[in-house]
Chain A
Amino acid sequence: DIQMTQSPSSLSASVGDRVTITCRASQSISSYLNWYQHQAGKAPKFLIYAASTLQDGVPSRFSGSGSGTDFTLTISSLQPEDFATYYCQQSYSHPYTFGPGTKVDIK
Chain B
Amino acid sequence: QVQLQESGPGLVKPSGTLSLTCVVSGDSISSANWWTWVRRPPGKGLEWIGEIYHSGRTYYNPSLKSRVTISLDTSKNQFSLNLNSVTAADTAVYYCARSAAVGFDYWGQGTLVIVSS
Contact = CB atoms under 8 A, between A and B. Distances in A.
Interface of A: 1, 34, 36, 38, 42-46, 49-50, 53, 55, 87, 89, 91, 94-101
By DSSP majority rule, is chain A's interface helix, strand, loop, or mixed? loop
Which range contains the number of B residues in contact with the other chain? 20 to 34
Contacts, number: 58
Contact of A99 (B45, B60, B62, B102): B45
The 5 closest A-B pairs by CB, nearest first: A43-B107, A49-B102, A34-B103, A98-B46, A96-B48
A89 B103 contact: yes
A43 B110 contact: yes
Given A1-B62, A95-B62, A34 B46 contact: no
A95 B103 contact: no
B59 A95 contact: yes
Contacts of A87: 45-46
A38 B108 contact: no
Interface in B42-92: 45-48, 59-63
B10 to A, nearest CB: 15
A45 B106 CA distance: 8
B46 A50 contact: no
Contact of B103 (A38, A46, A97): A46
A44 B63 CA distance: 23
Nearest to B46: A98
A34 B59 contact: no
Which residue, of A34, A42, A44, has the highest number of chain B Cβ atoms within 10 A? A44
A46 B84 CA distance: 30
Given A34-B102, A95-B59, A100 B109 contact: no
Which residue, of B46, B61, B104, B108, has the highest number of chain A Cβ atoms within 10 A? B46
B35 interface: no
Contact of A44 (B47, B62, B102, B107): B107
A17 to B, nearest CB: 24
Contacts of B61: 95
Contacts of A50: 102
